Amino acid sequence: MPDLGLAGKSAVITGATRGVGLAIARKLCAEGCRVLVNYAHSDEAAKAAVEQLAGLPGEAVAHRADVTRPAELAGLLAAAGERFGRLDVFVHNAASWTPAPAVGATAQTVHADIAAALDPLLHGAPALAELMAGGPGRVVAVSSSGARSVIPRYVGAGVAKAALESLVRYLAVELAGRGIAVNAVATAKIDKGPDTPQPEVAATLAARTPAGRLTTPEDVADTVALLCTAEAGWIHGQVVTADGGLALRG
C-alpha cells in the first residue's frame, strides 16, 4: 500500500463506531493517525470499534459526545486538543435521517436532519480554526448523492446534505487563508453486505454502476484519506463524488 504521509497526524471522526465512520477511522489508523473515535450513544459499540482498530499502526480512543449539542461538541474538541496538542483532521460523518416523502414530512424531523448536518461545523468552526492553527488542516464532510438527486423518502437527509455542501464552500473560503482545506465526499447507496436494505434496489443500482458494484464504506474512507494528504492541499470547497460512476448515468 502507498504511504499517504499521514503517520502521526491527529484526527477526530464523528459518528465513527460503525459503517462509513468506522471505515474512515480504520483507514486513518492504518495510515498511522491518532484518531479520536466519536460516538453519541452506545458504549458497547464504541468499545467494539476501538478493539477492531487495535493493532493498526496508529491509535484509536473513543470519546462520547452528541456533536449536535454545542457543549458536548466543545468538550470533544477540547479533549482532542488536550490529547494531541493540535488537530490535523476533522471528519464530519455523523448524520440523522427520518425516512419520509417531501409531501407529508414533518418540519420537525427535517429540521433535525439539517441540524445534525450543519450544527457540528457551524459551532465547531472557531475551535477547529484554533486547533488547526498554523496548518495544514483538513476538514472533510461526508455527503450524499441525495444532495443533488431525488431519492425516495430521503427529503430530510437530502436537504440537509445540500445545505452541508453549501456550508463546506463557505467555510472553505474563510479557512483557506489559515492553511485549512475544507471539502466534502459524496457517495450513493452504500453496500452494507447482508444488512443492505432493499436488496432488489441495491442490485439494480449495482448493475447501473459503471464500475460494476455498489460503493463500500472503504471506498469512501479511501477518498477521505486522499483529501487529507499534503498533495490535496490545493483542493478547497469541492465535493468529490465517490460512487463508481453511478451519478454519470443520471
Asked if residue 162 is part of any domain, the answer here is: yes
Q: Specify whether the CB–CB gap between 228 and 9 falls below 8 A.
A: yes
Q: 140 in a domain, yes or no?
A: yes
Catalytic residue among 161, 170, 189, 192: 161
Strands 239-241 and 180-187: parallel
Does the residue 3 lie in any domain? no
Is 161 considered catalytic here? yes
Does the predicted model carry a pTM greater than 0.85? Answer: yes
Catalytic residue among 27, 154, 189, 192: 154
Cell of 90: 476533522
- What is the structure's pLDDT at 197? 80
- Looking at the domain assignment, is residue 32 inside a domain? yes
Instruction: List the domain range (segments joined by +) for residue 120.
Output: 10-242
The answer to whether position 72 is within a domain reads yes
Residue 7: Cβ within 10 Å count:
12
Query: Does residue 238 fall inside a structural domain?
Result: yes
Question: What type of residue sits at position 185?
Answer: V
- State how far the Cα of 163 lies from the Cα of 80, in Å rounded to an integer: 27
Active site residue 154: yes
C-alpha cell at 56: 493498526
CATH number of the CATH domain containing 18: 3.40.50.720
The pLDDT value recorded for residue 220 is: 98
Q: What pLDDT is stored for residue 163 in this prediction?
A: 98
The three grid cell numbers given for residue 111, joined into one nine-digit string: 429540521
Place of cell 416523502: 101
Ranges of residues in the chain with a pLDDT under 70 are 1-2
Res 200: pLDDT: 87
User: What per-residue confidence (pLDDT) applies to 216?
Assistant: 97
The SS3 call for residue 224 is helix
98 by Cβ neighbours in 10 Å (0-12 / 13-18 / 19+) ranks as middle
Dmax (CA) of the chain? 49
pLDDT at residue 1 in the model: 60
- Residue 5 domain-assigned? no
pLDDT at site 140: 98
Report pLDDT for 192.
87
Number of domains in the chain: 1
Q: Is residue 85 assigned to a domain?
A: yes
Supply φ then ψ for residue 3, to 5 degrees.
-85, 120
